[in-house]
Structure 1
Amino acid sequence: MPKGSFAEFNSTTTTQITFYYDDGHEEAFNVPIPPGELVQQLPELLHQAWLTFHLVDQTVMVNMAKVEKLELKPPVPELQGQGTFFNSQRVTALHRGAVGRLKMTE
């Protein structure tokens, strides 16, 4: 895989992590760790005060106390336990407005 911020996303060897900050901003990183392997490290990572991402042109440090939400792509079904909901769907304003008017396929 090519190095750098614009490297091609490969879902078998790379996990995309998107941070949503309490000020409304968001930032995504591709890390060269398979999703299943990242899930094993996730509990420890979430308890760190700061996470550091070394990019080709800069180093980025994320203050985890400022993170409201975290998204991982591809999905990681290995993440299980209390508070985990499988087969969930995100509902957007478009979906809410369409309920009852358009046939929704599953």
Structure 2
Amino acid sequence: MPKGSFAEYNATTATQITFYYDNGHDETFSIPIPSAELAPLLSQLLNQAWLTFHLVDQTVMINMAKVEKVELKPPVMELEGEGIFLNSQRVTALHRGAVGRFKVTE
């Protein structure tokens, strides 16, 4: 990759955050904060009732009570402590809304 390209800049200075809502939908944002700098703020941010993202064309507010899961890319390896599992691997992907859609029963 050429030096100074947007892709290289974006990978080192931004964090991608995906919210998975309790209705089965998901939404991804790119924020201009490296994951290492975001780590100390995560606990405080995720305990907020609402998060607000100012985009180029709109402002998006997320009700954290409706969020089931949050994913961050790149990984935030700076997180440590109780409830943190290092060197984990995902074995199966999350299956959302499969019941009834493909004739699967519970």
Structure-2-length-normalised TM-score = 0.77
What does residue range 18-97 of structure 1 map to in structure 2 within 5 Å?
Answer: 18-92=18-92
Letter in 1 for 2:59: T
Q: Work out the CA distance in 1 between the residues paired with 2:33 and 2:45.
A: 13
- Equivalent AA in structure 1 for residue 46 of structure 2: L
SS at structure 2 position matched to 1:83: coil
SS of structure 2 residue aligned to 1:90: coil
Structure 2: runs of 5+ lacking an equivalent: 1-5, 94-106
* Identity between Structure 1 and Structure 2 (%): 71
Q: What is the aligned-residue RMSD (CA, Å)?
A: 1.6
**What is the count of residue pairs matched by the alignment?**
87
Amino acid at match of 2:28: A
Distance in structure 2 (CA, Å) of the matches to 1:75 and 1:66: 23
Return the TM-score normalized by structure 1: 0.77
Q: Deviation string for 1:20-79 (max 9, x for gaps)?
A: 000000000000001011111111101110000000011000000000000000011101
Q: 1:13: which partner in 2?
A: 13
Q: Is the 8 A contact 1:17 1:70 kept in 2?
A: yes
Please list every run of at least 4 consecutive aligned residues from structure 1 whose deviation after the TM superposition is greater than 3 angstroms: none
